[in-house]
Structure 1
Amino acid sequence: MSILDWSVLLGTILFITVYGIWRTRGAQNIEGFLKGNNREKWWTIGLSVMATQASAITFLSTPGQAYEDGMRFLQFYFGLPIAMVIICISFVPIFYRLKVYTAYEFLESRFDLKTRILAALLFLIQRGLAAGITIYAPSIILSTILGWNINLTNVVLGVLVILYTVSGGTRAVSITQKQQMAVMMGGMIMAGIIVVNLLPPYVSFPDAIQVAGEMGKLNLINFSFDWNDRYNVWSGITGGLFLFMSYFGTDQSQVARYLSGKSMGEIRLGLLFNGLLKIPMQFIILFIGVMVFVFYQFVQPPVYFNKLEKEKVYETAYAERMVKLEQTHHAIYKQKTKHIKALVKGIQSEDAGAIVNAKTNLNGFNKQEKEVRNQVKDLIKEVNPKAETRDTDYVFITFVMQHMPVGMIGLLLAVIFCASMSSTASELNALASTSLIDLYKRSVKEGGSDKHYLNMSKFFTVVWGCLAILFATLASQLDNLIQAVNILGSIFYGTILGIFVVAFYFKYIKANAVFWAAVVAETLVIFIYIRTEIGFLWLNPIGCLLVIFFGYLFQFLRSAKQ
């Protein structure tokens, strides 16, 4: 990287870190540390909620997802606007009226202490693991670019986030996220403009869109119903609705973002703002990934995008096999080039026959390319059985490093780091507040001073930060980061949501019944995930409905005995 790129990257990260510490210095009470003294306006809430969800994984992995699988991942978010409306109507008024610090406090008043602790523990397990993944995602970048030890990179990034989160708590998180969102979306929009301008002069923007469509990458909507299909309209609206209701309504990393709101009206506006803008934001990021795919139809892509893993093969006796595979890949691309040009020519002349003929030929060469890539992955696996062979997380960063102009490289790296810092800060803040309010203050030390709880909150922030760094060292075993986070959430979120849905809408079901229903439901969800091929989004409604079903069953059996 150039000096300019390093200056942009380091300057952005250090400015946001120092700014967050300076603006929120001197938090003297637990109310200010955990709820920001309820000062936030709706736009801050909306941007903070969006920034918390938009981790580095969003900007690192989503374009790669689109490169490989097209834009059908967008359907994952179709349930989000509906979820925002339900949360504004049902969740927000109760949380706001009770003036809770965490979502799980409400469960004790509705049920009992053990149900509150169960929900809090499920959250701590899920979010603690997810925090590790959000730290790991950008660590891939520095380790790939500089050859740094990835564990050292995890530590550096984790410590930066811990610094300003410990300093200012919730307010530090919210304030820094506004700057981070500006960097993130500004950088990605500029990247989209540049990738289109990098296309050959004879390929216009409309041509590029049609090329993407003809090659199956603009697959936005899929109405076919399939339990095993992760992304279709039905899984997005149904499974996504349950996932987002749980995430935004019961996950403390999100609930804390709007509990700091100035009024109920500000909170509702902030959540609706997020519901309206999140789908367009994801569309833009996915579309950039599709344009990167189109770009690589005219510029030869690497046979394998994880450069470090590929280079390890060249240091072994398998080097000659890798050379031959790269030569084969190059030869296939050279033959493919004339057909992609024929496709563009057919599109420009509106020649349907030429388009069909070019697509047929391109599909054949794409299959050959895929076969060679699979052979490369198999070879990498032979050299290193523990290697991560799915390389979609490296697609966008490879494009950035090899083809972006000076200055933009540093900015786009800053985008990914800002995203990681914003989501990780929210997670650490939420993990600390849940540990303090729902476990420590409630069951370990009641009646402590405000100063004591403030210090313990900072202590828990540091502890969870260290654990997140530790979990990050295990994240390299995952295939695709964005799917890993969503799968992890889906395993736990349905059960947590089920507890809250019962609390809000099913007064017949009491404490013991919902507690054991949640235990049974979570066990069954884990079993279903391990033993079946069902799409992970369906785990959310399954978990929720199982809690309701078993809650009714256990309550009925209990009532029948009395």
Structure 2
Amino acid sequence: MTRLHPIDLAIVAAYLIGITLFGLRFRSQDKSLSSYFLGGKTIPWWAIALSIVSAETSTLTIVSIPGVAFTSNFGFLQLVIGYMIGRLIICILFLPRYFHGELFTAYQLIRNRFGSTLQTVTAGLFLITRAAAEGVRVFAISIVVGLAIGTNDILSIAIISALTLLYTFEGGMTAVIWTDVVQMTLYIAGTLVALITLGTHVPGGWSHIHEVASAAGKFHMLDFSFSLVKTYTFWAGILGGTFLTMASHGTDQLMVQRLLAAKDLKESRLALLASGGVVFVQFLLFLIIGAGLWVFYGMPIGGATPGFTSADRIFPSFIVREMPTGIAGLLIAAILAAAMSNLSAALNSLSSTTVVDFYMRLRPNATDKERTSLSRVSTGVWAVVLFAIAVYSVFVGGKGHVVEMGLSIASVAYGALLGVFLLGTLTKFATQAGAIAGMICGFAVNLTLWLISIKLLPSISWLPPIAYTWYVLIGSAVTVGVGSMVSMISSRTSLE
């Protein structure tokens, strides 16, 4: 099997060493939690915006989105439209509450509204599902490194995890965000290089690719059919995408932590809205690459992936086999940049939730030095956990697109989390008992839908496998509905 040229390998190695050393430059003598988890609230909005995009897209985007366009069309962009709407709602609904007081995590807001019990439940749910979803994302690293270097999957994961842990452990959120900026710049540049190079590999260039792909409907985006089974429709994109983003960027500590690192509410809003525009352009670029690869590999019919075990291997394989020496190394480094960016974000957010939402409640009088020391230990522990989940993913394998796999796992919990936040922000009558009951029901419903979709539960005749794009909307609706009902019943009972 074709591997990278030694020159390309040297470029990849130089990148890995260079970005690790760059991240280590942000080691600080400031032992405060604000410095370690929020960068001291001194990071400019544009850096936070790029960091949000890096954390949002990851290796899954780079290796998987071209595969989505290769096997289908541009329907995925319907979901991105919902991403934009969701950001606007977060700016209006959630961000003002996050900046009212000194908060380190999203779940402290839940404590302020409902109490410490629900804070523990929501934070615990975040830890479990974020770890599971990030494990799948770390697994995606092995696809790229295995094709490029020839190392086995487990060794690939171990190398990237260890290097990312090193600078995240030492530099905290400041190192995470500034390495995100460098890494995002690299993989966007790499994407543009890939577009140009792909055009030179097809006779007639991009004009011919456009003509052929357009005639085959590859650029078709809008599907106005209403279906809970189809993943990418206009309604799943607008409704499902909006609710998915409200949950992922409004209730998930991975994103909320970045928004809290802004110096004030205005800059936080600016960072979030700017990231939406960048995300749209980025997804569009990767989908265009997928359409180009479809033409390059002979326009296979029916979503076939000739010569590949999955569509996720098409773009990485093209880089390794077809790119000129030097360019291939740059692109593999760009993909690894996205991987390290997302992994560092996950480690820091998992650590912050562990320390702030659990340890600080058990030891409220602990010094900042003790808390920061535990934060670093927690970062290391979570690195081991994510490594273990990724290794498990290697053995069980993955069918379909890993980007959809990661999003579906995260969406199982997102519905319940978002429902609790909506109960807390939109109602005054909701109680902690009601919110917990709603959360349990919302999570149970989504978990059942997910288990049916991956065939771990038998499909019910009247309930076909529901597309993951609807999970958050369904889960949050159940959570709000049950939570409101239980709250009103319990309030009425207490009055009697």
Shorter chain as denominator, the TM-score bin is: over 0.9
Question: Structure 1, residues 509-539: CA drift from partner, whole Å, max 9, x if none?
Answer: 1111111111111112212333341111111
- 1:382 aligns with none
Q: Which residue of 303, 320, 339 corresponds with 1:420?
A: 339
CA distance in 1, matches of 2:406, 2:223: 23
Q: How much has 1:27 moved relative to structure 2? A: 4.1
Q: Which amino acid aligns with 2:39?
A: G
- The answer (yes or no) to whether the contact 2:9–2:149 under 8 Å persists in 1 is no
CA distance in 1, matches of 2:110, 2:198: 49
Q: Which residue of 115, 119, 122 corresponds with 1:112?
A: 115
Q: Which residue of 123, 127, 131 corresponds with 1:128?
A: 131
- The answer (yes or no) to whether the contact 1:131–1:428 under 8 Å persists in 2 is no
Q: How much has 1:91 moved relative to structure 2? A: 1.1
CA distance in 1, matches of 2:145, 2:209: 31
Q: How much has 1:144 moved relative to structure 2? A: 3.1
- The answer (yes or no) to whether the contact 1:47–1:181 under 8 Å persists in 2 is yes
CA distance in 1, matches of 2:55, 2:301: 37
- 1:455 aligns with 373
- 1:301 aligns with none
CA distance in 1, matches of 2:419, 2:231: 22
Q: Which amino acid aligns with 1:421?
A: M
Q: How does 1:273-352 map to 2 (within 5 A)?
A: 273-297=274-298
Question: Structure 1, residues 288-310: CA drift from partner, whole Å, max 9, x if none?
Answer: 1111111112xxxxxxxxxxxxx
CA distance in 2, matches of 1:205, 1:58: 22
**Cα distance 1:530–1:26, how it changes in 2: closer, same or farther (>3 A)?**
same
CA distance in 1, matches of 2:158, 2:125: 26
Q: Which amino acid aligns with 1:551?
A: G
- The answer (yes or no) to whether the contact 1:250–1:496 under 8 Å persists in 2 is yes
- 1:343 aligns with none
Question: Structure 1, residues 320-379: CA drift from partner, whole Å, max 9, x if none?
Answer: xxxxxxxxxxxxxxxxxxxxxxxxxxxxxxxxxxxxxxxxxx8xx836x95x96xx9xxx
CA distance in 2, matches of 1:145, 1:183: 18
Q: Which residue of 13, 21, 40 corresponds with 2:24?
A: 21
When structure 1 is superposed on structure 2, of 527-536 and 465-474 the one drifting more is 527-536
* Matching of residue 545 in structure 1 with residue 477 in structure 2: yes
Local SS of the residue matching 1:94: helix
Q: Which residue of 55, 69, 77 corresponds with 1:52?
A: 55
Q: How does 1:79-118 map to 2 (within 5 A)?
A: 79-118=82-121
Q: Which amino acid aligns with 1:287?
A: I
Local SS of the residue matching 1:206: helix
Q: Which amino acid aligns with 1:251?
A: D
**Cα distance 1:177–1:13, how it changes in 2: closer, same or farther (>3 A)?**
same
CA distance in 2, matches of 1:397, 1:214: 26
Q: How much has 1:198 moved relative to structure 2? A: 1.4
- 1:430 aligns with 349
Q: Which amino acid aligns with 2:115?
A: D
- The answer (yes or no) to whether the contact 2:169–2:380 under 8 Å persists in 1 is yes
- 1:336 aligns with none
- The answer (yes or no) to whether the contact 2:408–2:450 under 8 Å persists in 1 is no
Local SS of the residue matching 1:220: coil
* Matching of residue 184 in structure 1 with residue 175 in structure 2: no
Q: Which residue of 461, 472, 488 corresponds with 1:556?
A: 488
Q: How does 1:390-405 map to 2 (within 5 A)?
A: 390-405=309-324
- 2:416 aligns with 495
- 1:316 aligns with none
- 1:523 aligns with 444
Question: Structure 1, residues 443-463: CA drift from partner, whole Å, max 9, x if none?
Answer: x32211111000000011000
CA distance in 1, matches of 2:141, 2:449: 31
CA distance in 1, matches of 2:43, 2:94: 19
CA distance in 2, matches of 1:514, 1:489: 20
- 2:178 aligns with 175
**Cα distance 1:204–1:180, how it changes in 2: closer, same or farther (>3 A)?**
closer
- The answer (yes or no) to whether the contact 2:147–2:316 under 8 Å persists in 1 is no
- The answer (yes or no) to whether the contact 1:143–1:150 under 8 Å persists in 2 is yes
Q: How much has 1:546 moved relative to structure 2? A: 0.6
- 2:34 aligns with 31
Q: Which amino acid aligns with 2:54?
A: A
- 2:457 aligns with none
Give percent identity, aligned residues only.
29
Q: How much has 1:185 moved relative to structure 2? A: 0.1
CA distance in 2, matches of 1:140, 1:534: 28
Question: Structure 1, residues 45-73: CA drift from partner, whole Å, max 9, x if none?
Answer: 10011111120111111111211122211
* Matching of residue 225 in structure 1 with residue 226 in structure 2: yes
- The answer (yes or no) to whether the contact 1:46–1:271 under 8 Å persists in 2 is yes
CA distance in 1, matches of 2:149, 2:32: 42
- 2:267 aligns with 266
| Structure 1 residue runs without a partner (length 5+) | 298-361, 377-388
- 1:334 aligns with none
CA distance in 2, matches of 1:144, 1:193: 22
CA distance in 2, matches of 1:430, 1:397: 29
CA distance in 1, matches of 2:445, 2:135: 25
- The answer (yes or no) to whether the contact 2:416–2:438 under 8 Å persists in 1 is no
- The answer (yes or no) to whether the contact 2:161–2:383 under 8 Å persists in 1 is yes
- The answer (yes or no) to whether the contact 1:199–1:295 under 8 Å persists in 2 is yes
| Structure 2 residue runs without a partner (length 5+) | 453-463
Q: Look at both structures and tell me which one has the larger radius of gyration over its CA atoms.
A: 1
CA distance in 1, matches of 2:132, 2:447: 16
* Matching of residue 71 in structure 1 with residue 74 in structure 2: yes
Local SS of the residue matching 1:98: coil
CA distance in 1, matches of 2:180, 2:30: 18
Question: Structure 1, residues 442-494: CA drift from partner, whole Å, max 9, x if none?
Answer: 1x322111110000000110000010000001223222210111101111101
- The answer (yes or no) to whether the contact 2:133–2:407 under 8 Å persists in 1 is no
Question: Structure 1, residues 366-425: CA drift from partner, whole Å, max 9, x if none?
Answer: 36x95x96xx9xxxxxxxxxxxx8511100011111111111110110111000000110
Q: Which amino acid aligns with 1:478?
A: G
CA distance in 2, matches of 1:118, 1:11: 43
- The answer (yes or no) to whether the contact 2:11–2:329 under 8 Å persists in 1 is yes
* Matching of residue 445 in structure 1 with residue 341 in structure 2: no
Q: Which amino acid aligns with 1:475?
A: S
When structure 1 is superposed on structure 2, of 16-25 and 268-277 the one drifting more is 16-25
When structure 1 is superposed on structure 2, of 18-27 and 411-420 the one drifting more is 18-27
Q: Which amino acid aligns with 2:345?
A: S
Local SS of the residue matching 1:447: coil
- The answer (yes or no) to whether the contact 1:27–1:168 under 8 Å persists in 2 is no
* Matching of residue 506 in structure 1 with residue 427 in structure 2: yes
Q: Which amino acid aligns with 1:277?
A: V
CA distance in 1, matches of 2:55, 2:389: 19
CA distance in 2, matches of 1:152, 1:525: 34
CA distance in 2, matches of 1:147, 1:279: 33
* Matching of residue 196 in structure 1 with residue 117 in structure 2: no
- 2:459 aligns with none
Local SS of the residue matching 1:79: helix
- 1:325 aligns with none
Q: How much has 1:204 moved relative to structure 2? A: 4.4
**Cα distance 1:183–1:204, how it changes in 2: closer, same or farther (>3 A)?**
closer
Local SS of the residue matching 1:183: helix
Q: How much has 1:22 moved relative to structure 2? A: 1.1
What CA RMSD, in Å, does the superposition of the two structures yield over aligned residues? 1.7
Local SS of the residue matching 2:479: helix
CA distance in 2, matches of 1:250, 1:182: 27
CA distance in 1, matches of 2:95, 2:424: 14
CA distance in 2, matches of 1:27, 1:168: 10
